[in-house]
Structure 1
């Protein structure tokens, strides 16, 4: 899949930098052309000579090398590649990327490129868990930067936890996904995810127990198959996937408006746990107990039915509309009735009764309801459930 692909590999300074030499070898074995860029700190762990020998190409190191500027300026270097890969990506370089700093060759290339960027973070577990690093990660993902890893394991410093750079096969697979021509290439898919928050007053709200993990996994799986994904998400517990268009919303009404803005699409997957009702008389100020023992009266109004409204569009309806049904009993029957009532093509139904641990958990057990009947899937990780659903969507759109 990497034959004749051009990869600009930025190696930053961390103990994991020595693994980048193996990455160069693996990429060249798959037919890719690799142009290495070393930061000053990276040269403390790998030598320019070893990187150059394995890549069979010149190693770039200095932003202010006038010869390089004449032969291959940093703007041209940043745009001549098909993909920019940062492995390892240190906390320092991630911070520069998030802040838009460009004071050396690596950070300048990352600012000047118009190509997709994939990073493989590697750092001490405390550095990875630091709020600044997590804030920078969220910023980069929001900017469309793709991320692979880090993994959990023993550190060179003797600590254990997340922060180990992803293994080379994982990074190569992520590069292949980023550069591959998947079955959904050229298709536009809308995905909704997460809960909605319906205000009671400025500090209280009504919501469903949804982490957004399944919708996020579906968006990532569709992206990996080559789709252009518009991801409309409520306030989820998990960050949105890299490489997709992210449209954050809070309420069901905001989600409905965002969906209408995103359409048309080839397919739409409505995985969000949208609140059925909102508080019609939401207070503008925090409601206080007055000591009288009287309780506030909340008037409810029905929220827009996003799934039904899109399913029943006369013009601009997606070719495939997939809904979700979170049920606590008689799952297949209720989901089948919902599919008919809403007018969608498929319903992905799951049992979210407390005993299953599915709502907010890492696994899912779904039943796919189509015009042909009900198909029960085994209990799988949410990532694997998403992958299977994405493949089925690709088959249907083909």
Structure 2
């Protein structure tokens, strides 16, 4: 997600600085080169050697005659984005007031003046986060174009956001944002049809692919709605659903203001009349299965011009057969393109898939995150047209 991106990582004196080492590792795992900048307060919590180890570069702990702030964040500076994680209330207030008395605030002032993207992940006690002066400072800095990664407010603390959330916002800040101003709806994961209060009819889909598409679209500037039965995520507005009917209803609502739909969910093909009470075990049981509505057919009927990306899972392992089935789906509902894959990749982090258009089919092998990026780029091309 961050291949070729240079990230200057500012660390300030929050106890959340102990998470900096793993954050730096994750930024690098995602492809970024990272250089650390630390305040004196941060050095009292985590040793510069730890950050040096995590980034594999020398750490800036003071501004010297080498003007490190300009070299990192100035015009034509090294950094593509300046990330401050964690950022204390003190640091946010200083940035809002153009006070630059630490290496981190000096880099922030320089970055803002040079139009280098800045991302801030605040971390502090909840009463500090609720202070009107801190909220005003956040609003002021946000109006200047700084991206804030909202903290997780729990246990009386505004805890630093997850690594996943920070990485997604860094990618969004550093990229070209070809989907900026677009609304992308993504369905993801499995649906579940209740058999009784404790049993459900479902499938093996994990939602990994759908979440990867949603994250990639967010990184490219889109506003994303994720319809699934899964966790809340930072990079999308989440509509929680369980059954196929609930997914259809939520998707229809979301698509009223959508520019693209990505139908990545493995929606159950059948439902049953659920029993009000628990069905006792040990008895023979026959379930009468009723087909569920086809989501893309229903959405196409209501939105004849909406670009829709479909997914088609097969078990044959025959690529030509997969392409043929994908094209049938593409033509039947006038889809933008279809992702065809073998059902064996459900729940895995890697995949082999075919991006099937009306006249072409391209093969992809790699991570689902990488495929999510390919799909998002194709959507950007469609929206651009």
Q: What TM bracket, shorter-length normalisation?
A: 0.5 to 0.7
C-alpha distance in structure 2 between counterparts of 1:297 and 1:20, whole Å: 52
Q: Does the residue aligned with 1:389 lie in a helix, a strand or coil?
A: helix
Aligned pair partner of 2:259 in 261, 266, 276: 266
CA contact (8 A) 1:10 1:84 kept: no
Aligned residues: 309
Say whether 1:225 aligns with 2:220: yes
Aligned to 1:85: 120
Do 2:183 and 2:258's aligned partners in 1 also have CA atoms closer than 8 Å? yes
**Kept in 1: contact 2:189–2:229 (CA 8 A):** yes
Equivalent of 2:337, from 320, 334, 346?
346
The answer to whether the Cα contact below 8 Å between 1:17 and 1:42 also exists between their aligned partners in 2 is no
Match of 2:236 in 1: 244
The separation in 1 between residues aligned to 2:96 and 2:172, in whole angstroms, is 34
* Partner of residue 127, structure 2: 102
The 1:245–1:140 alpha-carbon spacing in structure 2 relative to 1, beyond 3 Å, is farther
1:370 pairs with one of 330, 352, 357: 357
After the TM superposition, which residues 17-166 of structure 1 pair with which residues of structure 2 at under 5 Å, given as runs? Answer: 43-45=44-46, 50=61, 54-55=68-69, 83-86=118-121, 93=123, 101-103=126-128, 109=134, 113-114=138-139, 115=142, 116-118=147-149, 146-148=165-167
In structure 2, the CA distance between the partners of 1:328 and 1:109, relative to structure 1 (3 Å rule), is farther
Per the TM alignment, residue 303 of structure 1 is displaced from its structure 2 partner at its CA by 1.6
* Most deviating of 296-305 and 375-384: 296-305
- Which position in structure 1 is the counterpart of 2:302? 313
- Using the alignment, how far apart are the partners of 1:102 and 1:299 within structure 2? 56
Matched, 1:300 2:296: no
The question of whether the paired residues in 2 share the 8 Å contact of 1:308 and 1:344 is answered with no
Tell me, yes or no, if the aligned pair for 2:184 and 2:261 is still in contact at 8 Å.
yes
Identify which of 303, 319, 331 aligns with 2:322.
331
Q: Is the 8 A contact 1:223 1:244 kept in 2?
A: yes
1:171-192 deviation digits (Å, cap 9, x = unpaired): xx96353254411111111111
Change (3 A) 1:208 1:111: farther
User: 1:62 deviation in Å?
Assistant: 8.6
TM-score (norm 1): 0.63
Deviation at 1:282, TM superposition (A): 0.3
Q: Deviations over 1:218-245 (max 9, x none)?
A: 111111111111111124xxx5542221
TM-score, scaled relative to structure 2: 0.65
Q: Rate the CA distance shift 1:194–1:395 in 2: closer, same or farther, 3 A.
A: same
Pair 52,45 (structure 1): closer, same or farther in 2 beyond 3 Å: farther
SS of the counterpart of 1:377?
strand
